[in-house]
Amino acid sequence: MTLTILGIESSCDDTAAAVVRGTDILSSVVYGQTALHADFGGVVPEIAARAHAEKIDLCIEEALAQADVPLSAIDGIAVTAGPGLIGGVLSGVMCAKGLATATGIPLIGVNHLAGHALTPMLTESASFPYLMLLVSGGHCQFLIAHSHDRFTRIGGTIDDAPGEAFDKTARILGLGQPGGPAVQKAAEDGDPLRFKLPRPLLDRPGCDLSFSGLKTAMLRTRDGVMAEKQGLTGADQADLAAGFQRAVADVLAEKTDRALTEYLALNPAQPSFAVAGGVAANTEIRARLQALCTAKGVTYSAPPLALCTDNAAMIAYAGGLRMAAGQTDDMTLSARPRWPLDDRTPAMLGSGKKGAKA
């Protein structure tokens, strides 16, 4: 029987609900909060939590209406139970528990990162195993996906996530938030070679990554231009944005090359790579990763842009896989601020300063 799952997502600054049947996305509604946080230069957890609590039921109603599926036809209620900003995760979990109690529909707690990491199966019919690069505002890791609930991390950031660096760079350059799309837009007319920016950790073996040094270098380089010219011209902004984006793309491409070599040595019969998470929406990064895969004879998949960033379709899909495996939850399901996908590999030192965000 194909399961019809209601998905609920509220772990950061998007309130989302979706209805997914098998791999058919019947609806996917996202209420963003960008405007609410605009004055603060980042997501304010308390504001996010309150906005989730206010909007979540409306969002669910809209998802059901758009899908034209009554609640009585839903087989399972999947909700992000972590990792994320705890107030937001709690809003979603409490709402899902209430709905499950009132209707008797089974409850399924989903790891937000598993939602991102399983998206290639939802949108691109990928099959296990595959190498996954998860790049978002709070995470950056290479994972081998063995099954819907077994992942091995073979590398990751030792400090910031690239999305965080994009957001910071946008602030440094006086561009809007979220920073990724703003920097990408500014970079379109820029010269990526004008400024010399570092490619952190490329000189070290392995596929761990680092982005905090690049952030600092951006700040210094901007200050240098400002001191020289008493301001930033549009061309300076574009060149800085293009230089930054090229540096991130270079690092991600080189580290992906290494991760692929490691993955292919273990799984030569399944040359398959997928990228997901908000930063996977970046056109230059997508193109670089795709070119790399083509050169190595590896199948490449990247979800459509709307399913790269946070959404509830990925949570519904991941929840459906859990439910099919008999992994439903009861009312003891708790909201978790931290929840590594691979809990056998030791946590990385310094990883995810903003780790609550995924």
| Contact characters 128-157, Zn ion, x per CB under 5 A | --------x---------------------
In terms of DSSP H, where are the helices of the chain? 34-37, 45-67, 86-103, 112-124, 162-172, 179-187, 212-229, 234-266, 283-296, 305-308, 313-324
The piece of 147-155, 194-202, 236-244, 277-285 that touches ligand KG4 (CB under 6 A) is: 277-285
Task: Please report how close the Cβ of residue 175 comes to Zn ion at its closest, in angstroms.
Answer: 21
Nearest to 214 by CA among 240, 176, 186: 240
Position among 27, 123, 136, 237 found at the interface with ligand KG4 (CB under 6 A): 136
Half-sphere exposure of 12 (CA within 13 A, CB side): 25
- The reply on whether position 192 binds ligand KG4 by CB under 6 A is no
Nearer residue to ligand KG4 within complex by CB, 105 or 279 = 279
- The reply on whether position 123 binds ligand KG4 by CB under 6 A is no
Sequence-distant (6+) residues with CB within 8 A of 248 are 162, 165, 166, 211, 214, 279, 282, 285
The piece of 21-29, 54-62, 279-287, 289-297 that touches ligand KG4 (CB under 6 A) is: 279-287
What are φ and ψ of residue 312, in 5° steps?
Answer: -100, -10
Cα(218)–Cα(231) distance, integer angstroms = 15
Cα(167)–Cα(261) distance, integer angstroms = 30
Sequence-distant (6+) residues with CB within 8 A of 351 are 156, 157, 158, 159
Task: Please report how close the Cβ of residue 143 comes to ligand KG4 at its closest, in angstroms.
Answer: 15
**Among Zn ion, ligand KG4, none, what binds residue 282 when CB lies within 5 to 8 Å by partner kind?**
ligand KG4
Position among 157, 221, 309, 351 found at the interface with ligand KG4 (CB under 6 A): 309
Q: Which residues bind Zn ion (CB under 5 A)?
A: 136, 310, 358
Q: Which residues bind ligand KG4 (CB under 6 A)?
A: 12, 136-138, 163, 166-167, 178-181, 184, 277-279, 281-282, 309-310, 357-358
